[in-house]
Amino acid sequence: MAMAMAMNVSSSCFCVAGNRTSGNRLRVVASEDLVGLKIKDDKVKLGGSDLEVTRLGIGAWSWGDTSYWNNFEWDDRKMKAAKAAFDTSVDCGITFFDTAEVYGSRFSFGAINSETLLGRFIKERKVKDPEVEVAVATKYAALPWRLGRQSVLTALKDSLNRLELSSVELYQLHWPGIWGNEGYIDGLGDAVEQGLVKAVGVSNYSESRLRDAYKKLEKRGIPLASNQVNYSLIYRAPEENGVKAACDELGVTLIAYSPIAQGVLTGKYTPENPTNWSSRPDLHSPSFLTKLQPLLNRIKEIGENYSKTNTQVVLNWLVAQENVIPIPGAKNAVQAEEFAGAIGWRLTGEEIDELRSLAMEIKPVTGFPVEKL
């Protein structure tokens, strides 16, 4: 059976890609313009909104952070690496970036706000390339002392100031609040009507909360564009708790964070070579990595058939679920270029099912606690 193949070559993201044609003949395309054309064709509408974004985005959680990532320190070397990750992503046609007001919190020693960095990178890029279009997604933190729709607008305007932008493409509620959620949804609607955002979404919302938010916005003629949740080959809770089915039914795009399970699915870590430091010991423990090896070995075998890495295979698996946009976090240019190679090709149905079956033999990992609020 002929197999579609694709490879990325060099930091300029020049591509050679293959696609199926009738009769299972292999067609190979080589062009310096291929990446730009492919990504343009690969853009998808975000939910029922008019916003179009690339099928894969880049998460900026680690940029400037000292509380969870970067071994609790941020320096000039990491700054340059993050800037290179941004530029390489754009060079490769990936122009959808996700950040949040709490990433790189000012309450963390030595941290720089991720929104500030992303805004700076966009501004510097536009000096060299005035026509570049970057889609920015950021998030509102539903902190207990924040009440009412005005708190959403106030926080959004603060985010816009840090980003040095007049509007953003997507504004999301980062997690459901302990109370005040109806006011938060009202605030999202106000943001759309005031022209501060092109689309609105939620994050870490259960099926019932998702449906409630959708209905409330629908009454104002505003689509709920997205729900950003933890979703990967080894964390498939959205499939099991009704979130994925509800997103598909309502036309809400599922944005998948932690799509490579914080590096575990890359094959970088082994039982003999676990990471020296981890905020998720359940994921990076030798015992869990031992259980993961059969799956990782098969991912590697499949990837070799396409000249793809483990990372590219597991990201492509998510894209193949349809109505899903993965947002892996890129810390440097090498990671960004690798992520770009996850789209523009597709696993077969048999491979998708096989990987799911192998993953189901592994005890599910724990997700983000707010999902259960």
Kindly write down the DSSP assignment for every residue of 356-371, as one continuous string: HHHHHTSPPPP--GGG
Say if CB 321 and CB 263 are below 8 A apart: no
Interatomic CA distance for residues 369 and 228, integer angstroms: 14
Interatomic CA distance for residues 110 and 84, integer angstroms: 21
Interatomic CA distance for residues 111 and 117, integer angstroms: 11
Residue with tokens 């800037």: 83
Name residues whose C-beta falls within 8 Å of residue 278's C-beta, 6 or more positions apart in sequence.
262, 284
Which residues are annotated as catalytic?
103
Name residues whose C-beta falls within 8 Å of residue 67's C-beta, 6 or more positions apart in sequence.
105, 108, 111
- Can you read off the two tokens belonging to residue 299? 């991912």
Interatomic CA distance for residues 153 and 188, integer angstroms: 8
Residue with tokens 């980062």: 174
Interatomic CA distance for residues 54 and 58, integer angstroms: 10
- Can you read off the two tokens belonging to residue 24? 């299972």
For residue 200, give the amino acid letter: V
